[in-house]
Structure 1
Amino acid sequence: MPLPSLGAGEVLVRTRLTAVSLGSERSVVEGFGPFPMLLGYQTLGVVEARGPGVTLPVGQRVVTTLGHASAGVHRAERVIPVPERVADRVALTVILGEETAKGLRKVRPEVSERVLIAGAGLLGLLSLFNLTRRGVHDVTVLEPDAERRALALTFGAKAAFAPGELPHDAFDVGVECSASPAGFAELLGHLRPGGRAVVLSDGNWGALTLPREFHSRELTVTASSDGEDYAAYATWLWEHADGRLAELFPVTLTREQLPRAFRKWRQWPRPVSAVVEWNG
Structure 2
Amino acid sequence: MEPKTPGYLVRELPPLGIHDVHVRTLAGAISIGAELPQWLEQDMTETSYNYPLETGYESYGKVLAVGEAVQTVKPGDRVVSFYGHQDQAVVPESKVIPVPAHVSPREALLLILSCDAAKGVRKLTLTPDARVLVSGMGTIGLLTVHYLRHYVNVRQIDIIEPLASRAELARQLGAHIVTPDSDTYDAAIECSGRQAAFAELQSAVRPHGAICVLSDGNLESLTLTPAFHAKELQIIASSDGWSYHMHADWLFSNDRHATLPALFEQETSFSELANCFAALMASTDLPIKVFVDYEQTS
Contact 2:21–2:93 (CA<8 Å) still a contact in 1? yes
What pairs with 1:47-196 in structure 2 (closer than 5 Å)? 47-55=63-71, 56-134=73-151, 135-157=153-175, 159-161=176-178, 165-168=179-182, 170-196=184-210
| RMSD (CA atoms) | 2.0
Change (3 A) 1:246 1:139: closer
1:125 is matched by which residue type in structure 2? L
Among 218, 222, 227, which residue is 1:204 paired with? Answer: 218
Change (3 A) 1:75 1:153: same
Change (3 A) 1:91 1:119: same
Offset, 1:169: 5.4
Offset, 1:225: 6.8
Change (3 A) 1:152 1:71: same
Hey, what does 1:21 align to over in structure 2?
Answer: 31
> What secondary structure does 1:133 align onto?
helix
Change (3 A) 1:185 1:197: same
Percentage of identical aligned residues = 37
Structure 1: how far apart are the matches of 2:106 and 2:274?
A: 21
| TM-score, structure 2 normalization | 0.86
Contact 2:208–2:231 (CA<8 Å) still a contact in 1? yes
Q: Does 1:243 align with 2:253?
A: no
Structure 2: how far apart are the matches of 1:246 and 1:105?
A: 21
For residues 116-153 of structure 1, the C-alpha deviation after alignment (integer angstroms, 9 at most, x for no partner) is: 11100000000001000021121011111110000110
For structure 2, the 5+ residue unaligned runs are 1-10
Change (3 A) 1:226 1:17: farther
2:146 is matched by which residue type in structure 1? F
Contact 2:128–2:155 (CA<8 Å) still a contact in 1? yes
Structure 1: how far apart are the matches of 2:56 and 2:30?
A: 6
For structure 1, the 5+ residue unaligned runs are none
Offset, 1:101: 0.7
